[in-house]
Structure 1
């Protein structure tokens, strides 16, 4: 191995945008010296929304300041508010619950599948009650949620369906892209996501023109974009940065290749790790259908020991969400006494993510897989 191959392998690359440095610097100057001096919601944002929408088959795209903000804006646009409930996964990122609370509604936590770690449609169905206004399934790590089941569930009960596809951009299930299964979906562009950028940002994607129009208004203090300082709704400051829009336009054509590389790496891992199940290290389900490969996550009976083992080999790993959402101090007050989410709590104790980003070399990928496979049985 070369010295580079033997160096520490970070969980996310430190040089993520090094290859685009010259372009980014050029765009920074062009944005800063443009005659209109529009640093937010200008023509670059409009072009980016249109180009991303075309890549999704003509969907409406509304760029906003973050994936979290995107969830909040959609919930508000759906008129979810005080007295309403939204069914969300018991395992995942805090915005699944905090976005619901930020509009005055209550998150109701449903348990997850013990292998895929995505919310279980059957568990979600049990949480639907007279106050339920929406379902918010989320894709998790490298697996898309069972959106056909959730779509049927939403139609059966007359509920809104908001797809948290923040980590799922690029995934396809039954021929339909992530983000377009429900009334609306959201993407996150924070740097570590599949379409990350050097900053914070996100987008709402939908085929509902009226919902998109309302979200556009809400992201800019309730203005409709035609008459400045005329506020039609109480909104938020969730505007998209022009420099980032220009940079994302530059990177959009290369997204399929980066996604393909992620899928190639994940496929190799899954094949290598298949025999480890009997040793207490479970790989994600094999296959390419409904996969997004934001990160590659193992379920390990001795998670902390595996993480320490990898560290001795110079391989960084990350334990996402080591506590189920309803057990978090911020969200526990909104749960019912005696309630439980056994699969989510078990997953929180076992999940460990390893590098899967497209900057990995073949040698690094092999080194990571060898290290996992060499993890000793207790």
Structure 2
């Protein structure tokens, strides 16, 4: 197969080329300043992000994972506590909970949206439960009103894992701004990506923001004055400068993703055994991934056909979180997650990015139709 004809799930080359001049200028500005950690560039990005998301505070950190860890710590969650979360997500969701010494309690997902099913949450609440961590998976909002109602009834905190959903919305509010803490990842493949690792914690709580800023810098209020045990989780100035260049484009890019999703629906509708993504009526899906289901145990065969046709496709995710080896010793005590387990057997993500052409989508659709009709 000619590598030049391969169609990847994500192609960043167009974005880099379009913004090359502005990105180089931003990096040059940082180089000229000789200020590479935190500082003015980070403060400017934090202010712009807070304004865009409609929150009081945005705290730049070095990854989306650390945004979750620091958010949990800033809410006072630690050893002996439990946090209820989805069983179907990237490992950092559960890993962050366990890293602070708390216990991740997994519940099943909604079959249509892949997000946490609020109907499964209350049965898993115990006297040790301190918080709920919903994930806005693939860029689609979790059902936040139902989650907030549960949290209020049981006096629980909410940490939104919005790593895949910058610019997404729930009933007109930006995702990440609805709970007590929101956490974003700017890993290069995200719909708003840096040129390396970067993350953001957002909150409307002054005390949470103040503690998060200490925690990201070894627990210090000022140099050599450490008031708690923290982390080395400072955002690099170059990454903040890169994100400042890109952030003004995020709505345009998300709109392009949504347009591509609509075109996929036109091309792929009506194929037996193919379940297309469902867009909940309460939110604005930003399609970080375009993830569908391949029913009847045919996913592997479909993958092979797509691969032979030079089309990239990825499984996000091949196992549930409690199936990770690190949780093996307590697997027997975990609640069954039949919907999440079925999703792990069926999900497949197709090429999706703002510059995906209709011609490329038609090529994907032709190969996918051939695979499903074989």
Normalised by the length of structure 2, the TM-score is 0.94
Runs of 4+ displaced beyond 6 Å = none
Match of 1:295 among 289, 301, 326: 289
Q: Which has the larger displacement, 61-70 or 136-145? A: 136-145
Does the CA-based 8 Å contact 1:169-1:187 persist in structure 2?
A: yes
Counterpart residue number, 1:192: 189
Is 2:110 aligned against 1:116? no
Is 2:257 aligned against 1:258? no
Is 2:300 aligned against 1:318? no
Residue 252 of structure 2: SS of its match in structure 1?
helix
Matches of 1:43 and 1:334, distance apart in 2? 46
Matches of 1:142 and 1:280, distance apart in 2? 24
Is 2:361 aligned against 1:368? no
Matches of 2:205 and 2:187, distance apart in 1? 25
Counterpart residue number, 2:274: 281
Does the CA-based 8 Å contact 1:142-1:296 persist in structure 2?
A: no
Deviation at 1:287, TM superposition (A): 6.3
1:123-162 alignment, distance < 5 Å: 123-162=120-159
Match of 1:248 among 237, 243, 252: 243
Does the CA-based 8 Å contact 1:161-1:182 persist in structure 2?
A: yes
Matches of 2:311 and 2:123, distance apart in 1? 41
Residue 88 of structure 2: SS of its match in structure 1?
coil
Matches of 2:205 and 2:287, distance apart in 1? 28
Counterpart residue number, 1:354: 350
Normalised by the length of structure 1, the TM-score is 0.93
Cα deviation per residue 1:51-106 (whole Å; 9 max; x = unaligned)? Answer: 11111224311110000000000000111111100001111110111111111111
Unaligned runs of 5+ in 1: none
Matches of 1:50 and 1:376, distance apart in 2? 48
Matches of 1:85 and 1:55, distance apart in 2? 32
Deviation at 1:14, TM superposition (A): 4.7
Counterpart residue number, 1:30: 29
Cα 1:59–1:363 change in 2 (3 A) is farther
Counterpart residue number, 1:11: 9
Does the CA-based 8 Å contact 2:27-2:241 persist in structure 1?
A: no
Residue 376 of structure 1: SS of its match in structure 2?
helix
Does the CA-based 8 Å contact 1:183-1:208 persist in structure 2?
A: yes
Unaligned runs of 5+ in 2: none
Residue 135 of structure 1: SS of its match in structure 2?
strand
Deviation at 1:375, TM superposition (A): 2.4
Q: Which has the larger displacement, 10-19 or 182-191? A: 10-19
Cα deviation per residue 1:177-214 (whole Å; 9 max; x = unaligned)? Answer: 11011101111100111111211111011111221111
